[in-house]
Amino acid sequence: MSTAVQPKGATASTAPVDFLPLQGTDYVEFYVGNAKQAAHYYRTAFGFQPLAYAGPETGMRDRASYALRQQKLTFVFTTPLHETGPIADHVRRHGDGVKFLALRVDDATSAWNETTRRGGRSYMEPTRIQDDHGACVLSGIHTYGETVHLFVERKDYKGAFLPGYRPWSTPYFQTPETGLKYVDHCVGNVGWNQMNTWVSFYEDVMGFRNILSFDDNDISTEYSALMSKVMSNGNGFVKFPINEPAEGKKKSQVEEYLEFYNGEGVQHVALATDDIVRTVRDLRNRGVEFLQVPPSYYDDLLSRVGAIDESIDPLRELGVLVDRDDEGYLLQIFTKPVEDRPTLFFEIIQRKGAKSFGKGNFKALFEAIEREQATRGNL
């Protein structure tokens, strides 16, 4: 990790100064083939609320973007309006997928300066955009694949989402929220032997730390070997696990992703809830499809994880997984891919003290993924 620079006037201290202070995830933007229909799916199935719209009617000639919100979660779905251009190229190569993991900062100019002078490749120089509701500063750097980290400075902005968007509301029907609250972590899949490149990127360019590592001894099933390292920023608000495929008997889940996404990209976004049973039941009733583990997973659950507050029956009924670490336990479940390509999916997670990622569930989970891969003929 590079040495942090002391701000002017600071006294020498053994604690490094965080050169990239992050307030959390600002939004996740997806490039998709049909943003109007994607927005409808995330409203009806996931319970997001209409927030803001940008398109030809607001002066955006090449795209349409729909911003949706639920608690602290903001998703944006953007589609190209023409055959050519970077958005159309992205959709053609990758299908629907995450383009921007946007991070909230107090100073987007400093964020860009600090990261680019440490080797970050610029996507967008600090750019001030404004409308009648104030001004935002955006900047950005590239990360793995064609994914971008935008830095969003919005302390002087009072509008619905960003300048260029207009508030979006619809009188047609209500889509009650499902209890999803914020982004817990976002996982990237990178190519063979690329793990250390990206670990170094997050350490050197963004000042993150590697807080957990899993190797192929921890997480190989018969086929689906992978390695994973969890990168966290200084205050722990932003966590980016990174997966790399490992040699297995047959094609691993990361390889399947890389083949169908046509390169590196975001594998899953984990969404936090305070009541996973309620949230998952609601999502399931609205048509969200989840991976299922065998009923035997629950037979010796309590002997594996100890006492938990929840009763086992609804967890078994819904397929919710449980894991424990030194600090507490967590409940989690994974959707099937939310596109026809076997690429991006979501995790729903409820943390009860645990700060880890469910290592105890990897085997049951990966066997469930392999069963799905086999039905696609990709194992």
Applying CB under 5 A, the residues found at the interface with Fe ion are 270, 347
Quote the least distance from Cβ 175 to Fe ion, whole Å.
25
Helix (H, G, I), strand (E, B) or coil at 90: helix
Quote the least distance from Cβ 184 to Fe ion, whole Å.
8
Quote the least distance from Cβ 270 to Fe ion, whole Å.
4
The answer to whether the Cα torsion of 337, 339, 341, 345 is positive or negative is: negative
Nearer to Fe ion, 151 or 202 (CB): 202
Nearer to Fe ion, 126 or 265 (CB): 265
Nearer to Fe ion, 101 or 137 (CB): 101
Nearer to Fe ion, 104 or 239 (CB): 239
Contacts 24+ apart (CB under 8 A), 82-88: 87/31, 87/62, 87/63
Alpha-carbon span 201 to 327, nearest angstrom: 29
Alpha-carbon span 226 to 245, nearest angstrom: 4
3-state secondary structure string across 183-232: EEEEEEECCCCCHHHHHHHHHHHCCCEEEEEECCCCCCCCCCCEEEEEEE
Nearer to Fe ion, 139 or 228 (CB): 228
DSSP state, 75? E
Quote the least distance from Cβ 333 to Fe ion, whole Å.
11
Helix (H, G, I), strand (E, B) or coil at 309: coil
Residues 6+ apart with CB under 8 A from 222: 248, 249, 370
Quote the least distance from Cβ 127 to Fe ion, whole Å.
32
Nearer to Fe ion, 87 or 322 (CB): 322
Quote the least distance from Cβ 34 to Fe ion, whole Å.
27
- The answer to whether 86 and 136 have CB atoms below 8 angstroms apart is no
Query: For residue 33, how far is the Cα from the chain centroid?
Result: 19
